[in-house]
């Protein structure tokens, strides 16, 4: 590996490592700072359960990372891991904090400002701001496996089709994962939103988010080898992360507009359900 590549990867890893460490200390030792909700009544909050919940996704992410390292090389493997971690983690964090401090939005949109919040995660050992690290790692290996599979199945097709299939596969899995994980027996995360359109009792924007995050990330990641060749490792990494931040902002703005319009115009809640779920 070139020295410039090594330096860039170390910088990315150090930045993520330091923010994870600081967030974890803040979440557990000073929950009042970020108004962390109470876990009263949430099952499986013992130390062993939390350790296990962190460990399994870490191992599965490790499998995908080994594959990425061998297939794409160290630079692209670390960028896929750090990029997907950052892209999806940032989106979820912003969404959670918008919900937590929703009352401050009342001036801009009375409909949004009157909401009870969006959602929050209940348990986790390591945290990245208000997202458990195992969720970010889950995003990494689900995105990686779905994009890898869509590349295999649509070999020779354009990136838009491959990215769309990757997004669809990830969203398809979450149609089951979300209802299971929010069941009272687990309560891995808690939905607070009063969003009127739901699928299997889960807000529609959640599934739109799953599709869009994996779709957009696959599109941006596909352009990274070209950036690396043209700009070198450090500038390519900066451009890559800035593009992700720009898309993040556009996606969140879109969801906010949708939320405000849906709350204003859809007066009767709709739930597309199977077996009453």
Partner 1 sequence: MERKDNWTDYLPMLAFLGYWLYAGLLAAFMTGDPRLPRLGLITLPVLAAMAEALRRTAAARRRKE
Segment contacting partner 1 by CB under 8 A, of 125-133, 164-172, 211-219, 226-234: 164-172
Q: Quote the least distance from Cβ 67 to partner 1, whole Å.
A: 4
Segment contacting partner 1 by CB under 8 A, of 26-34, 124-132, 147-155, 241-249: 147-155
DSSP states of 132-162 as a string?
EHHHHHHHHHHHHHHHHHHHHHTTTS-HHHH
Where is 209: in which H helix or E strand? helix 204-222
Long-range contacts, stretch 202-205, CB < 8 angstroms, 24+ apart: 202/178, 205/255, 205/258, 205/259
The residue from 103, 183, 230, 238 that contacts partner 1 (CB under 8 A) is 183
Query: Taking the CA of residue 4 as centre, how many other CA atoms within 13 Å lie in the half-sphere pointing to its CB?
Result: 9
Widest CA span in the chain: 59
The residue from 45, 93, 186, 271 that contacts partner 1 (CB under 8 A) is 186
Strand ranges for 25-171 from DSSP E: 119-121, 127-128, 131-132
Task: Determine, following the binding rule CB under 8 A, whether residue 56 of this chain makes contact with partner 1.
Answer: yes
Separation CA 51–CA 125 (nearest Å): 7
Task: Determine, following the binding rule CB under 8 A, whether residue 230 of this chain makes contact with partner 1.
Answer: no
Task: Determine, following the binding rule CB under 8 A, whether residue 146 of this chain makes contact with partner 1.
Answer: yes
**Closest CB to partner 1 among residues 138, 259:** 138
Task: Determine, following the binding rule CB under 8 A, whether residue 194 of this chain makes contact with partner 1.
Answer: no
Segment contacting partner 1 by CB under 8 A, of 97-105, 175-183, 233-241, 257-265: 175-183
Task: Determine, following the binding rule CB under 8 A, whether residue 1 of this chain makes contact with partner 1.
Answer: no
45, two tokens: 């909050």
Q: Quote the least distance from Cβ 179 to partner 1, whole Å.
A: 6
Segment contacting partner 1 by CB under 8 A, of 7-15, 33-41, 138-146, 249-257: 138-146
Task: Determine, following the binding rule CB under 8 A, whether residue 64 of this chain makes contact with partner 1.
Answer: yes
The residue from 29, 185, 265, 268 that contacts partner 1 (CB under 8 A) is 185
Separation CA 168–CA 170 (nearest Å): 6
Separation CA 41–CA 46 (nearest Å): 12
Count of C-beta atoms within a 10 Å radius of residue 66: 11
Task: Determine, following the binding rule CB under 8 A, whether residue 50 of this chain makes contact with partner 1.
Answer: no
Task: Determine, following the binding rule CB under 8 A, whether residue 42 of this chain makes contact with partner 1.
Answer: no
Dihedral over Cα of 62, 63, 69, 72: its sign: negative
Segment contacting partner 1 by CB under 8 A, of 54-62, 74-82, 203-211, 264-272: 54-62
Separation CA 129–CA 86 (nearest Å): 11
Task: Determine, following the binding rule CB under 8 A, whether residue 55 of this chain makes contact with partner 1.
Answer: no
Residue ranges that bind partner 1, judged by CB under 8 A: 56-57, 60-61, 63-64, 66-67, 70-71, 138, 141-142, 144-146, 148-150, 152-153, 165, 168-170, 172-173, 175-177, 179-181, 183-186, 200, 274-277
């Amino acid at each position: 590996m070139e020295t410039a590549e090594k330096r860039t990867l170390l910088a990315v890893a150090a930045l993520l490592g330091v923010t994870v460490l600081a967030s974890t200390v803040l979440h557990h030792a000073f929950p009042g700072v970020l108004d962390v909700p109470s876990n009263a009544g949430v099952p499986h909050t013992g130390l062993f359960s939390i350790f296990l919940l962190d460990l399994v996704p870490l191992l599965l992410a490790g499998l995908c990372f080994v594959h990425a390292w061998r297939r794409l090389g160290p630079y692209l493997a670390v960028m896929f891991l750090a990029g997907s971690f950052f892209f999806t983690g940032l989106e979820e964090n912003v969404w959670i904090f918008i919900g937590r401090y929703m009352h401050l939005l009342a001036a801009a949109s009375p409909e949004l400002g009157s909401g009870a919040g969006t959602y929050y995660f209940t348990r986790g050992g390591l945290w990245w701001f208000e997202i458990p690290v195992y969720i970010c790692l889950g995003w990494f290996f689900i995105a990686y496996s779905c994009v890898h599979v869509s590349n295999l199945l649509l070999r020779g097709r354009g990136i838009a089709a491959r990215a769309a299939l990757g997004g669809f596969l990830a969203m398809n899995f979450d149609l089951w994962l979300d209802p299971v994980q929010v069941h009272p027996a687990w309560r891995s995360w808690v939905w607070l939103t009063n969003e009127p359109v739901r699928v299997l009792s889960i807000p529609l924007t959640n599934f739109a988010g799953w599709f869009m995050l994996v779709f957009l990330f696959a599109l941006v990641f596909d352009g990274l080898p070209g950036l690396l060749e043209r700009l070198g490792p450090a500038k390519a990494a900066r451009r890559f992360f800035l593009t992700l931040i720009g898309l993040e902002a556009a996606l969140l703005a879109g969801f906010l507009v949708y939320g405000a319009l849906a709350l204003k115009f859809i007066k009767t809640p709709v739930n597309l359900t199977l077996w009453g779920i």
